[in-house]
Structure 1
């Protein structure tokens, strides 16, 4: 069985975790397949949006496969490079939507937090099981959790393996939207429509600037010069934005 499914629909690439028999736990083969998928998505100029989902009814992802844990590939970190755990971090240029359901555990939780937009089915449950299981290694997931959640909520997950349900996750701003399970794909499609209405180059440039600016203080981030923003000024889409405004019509983005 293929550990992930990669399907393109127009300008959208969907990556689907596909090991439902083990709750989509990530092993070396899946990790390598994710690395290939992210590289393909970033290198294809026709792909503007990435979507990450998972097969099966019980779980988005149960974390690393305890029977065959990922070891990294070509120096990349886990999750195909997205997490920064155990290797080199890869920043996906394209906006990433993640749709989660059921169990979202450990490395799976980390992978979801790497997304730009998270849509959760109402049966999703986020948890860091390390303390309860007595297992800890790179510990990268705790650093994202403590940054993306209120302090005491994150600490309860970190030190006591306390679960966080989808509704509370939405209240705390961890997820963008919590929806009934059967409507998860419909909600994801709404976010896709919102993104496709935007200039793909502006979305990518703004994402780059926002994440790059996190590595410094606010004053330096405000003074920063960001190459994708500078490059956009000479793009066809930049000229199309002005023409569409002048002609009072919706812009037709080329993504170049």
Structure 2
């Protein structure tokens, strides 16, 4: 395990684990944590042995309450807040591998955005998602509101933005914000189960699919259908394509190589 400024990073097989570990501060993102998260996402993108990542947090009270505004260490690059994916105040950083978030307790502001950066969200029954900014008289870098209005029904998202009211896990499941709600004690095992399911697919196919879906998400369907995707074209000549065909013919489980 590598511990980087209150962020734990380690791999189990083809699964990378990124864990916020600052529970006394409700896992608020400090400047050092911000940089550590960026380094974790870059390693996940770079390492071909990593096929899927799980983002989690230490402690029972909170997944993450957003940026640390207590006056501590200032963020330097400002690239990693929001999971190293939003580019708040800096260049956009995209995670190319599938990401699963395991959320318990408070997921507020930038912490809510961290969760929304994931492709799959598993929530504990005590999870609460919220956008407290306007209720506290704050609105600035607002990647979180742009994600919320895209991932929730319009008026549900706007109500959260304009009132600061929190959404409990059961409502998040109802509105399709999360994939599954489990008891707090089962959160880690549920995230591991999802990671295993994702890792059982071809890692190159998953990467190509994620790229195709997200890179044309904001475009009309006609544009998306007419687009040629380099990642899909590269996958077509990979060893995994041959393995998938052979496994189907031989009626066996594929043994993916990720190349």
Task: Confirm or deny a common fold (TM above 0.5).
Answer: yes
Deviation, 1:85, is 2.1
| Aligned-partner Cα distance in 2 for 1:69–1:147 | 32
After TM superposition, the runs of 4+ consecutive aligned structure 1 residues lying more than 3 A away are 68-72
- CA contact 1:97–1:116 (8 Å) conserved in 2: yes
**CA distances 1:123-149 after superposition (whole Å, capped 9, x unpaired):** 000010101111111111111101101
Counterpart selection for 2:68 from 60, 65, 68 = 65
* Residue matched to 1:146: 149
Q: Residue 51 of structure 1 aligns to a residue in which SS?
A: strand
**When the two structures are superposed, what TM-score results if normalisation uses the length of structure 1?**
0.96
Map 1:1-256 to 2 at 5 A. 2-67=5-70, 68=72, 71-73=75-77, 76=79, 78-79=81-82, 81-256=84-259
Q: Residue 40 of structure 2 aligns to a residue in which SS?
A: helix
**CA distances 1:42-94 after superposition (whole Å, capped 9, x unpaired):** 11100101000000111000111011375351x63523531232221111111
- CA contact 2:34–2:79 (8 Å) conserved in 1: no
| Aligned-partner Cα distance in 1 for 2:253–2:76 | 44
Q: Residue 177 of structure 2 aligns to a residue in which SS?
A: coil
Q: Quick one: structure 1 residues 112 and 235, their matched pair in 2 at CA, closer, same or farther if it must change by over 3 Å?
A: same
- CA contact 2:7–2:36 (8 Å) conserved in 1: yes
Structure 1 unaligned segments of length 5 or more: list them.
none
Q: Residue 66 of structure 1 aligns to a residue in which SS?
A: coil
- CA contact 1:201–1:232 (8 Å) conserved in 2: yes
| Aligned-partner Cα distance in 2 for 1:83–1:105 | 16
- CA contact 1:77–1:86 (8 Å) conserved in 2: no
**When the two structures are superposed, what TM-score results if normalisation uses the length of structure 2?**
0.95
| Aligned-partner Cα distance in 2 for 1:70–1:225 | 42
- CA contact 1:3–1:17 (8 Å) conserved in 2: yes
Q: Which moved more, 1:232-241 or 1:187-196?
A: 187-196
Q: Quick one: structure 1 residues 70 and 127, their matched pair in 2 at CA, closer, same or farther if it must change by over 3 Å?
A: farther
Deviation, 1:193, is 1.7
Q: Residue 143 of structure 1 aligns to a residue in which SS?
A: helix
Matched positions, count: 255
- CA contact 2:122–2:191 (8 Å) conserved in 1: yes
Q: Quick one: structure 1 residues 163 and 69, their matched pair in 2 at CA, closer, same or farther if it must change by over 3 Å?
A: farther
- CA contact 1:12–1:48 (8 Å) conserved in 2: yes
Q: Residue 94 of structure 2 aligns to a residue in which SS?
A: coil
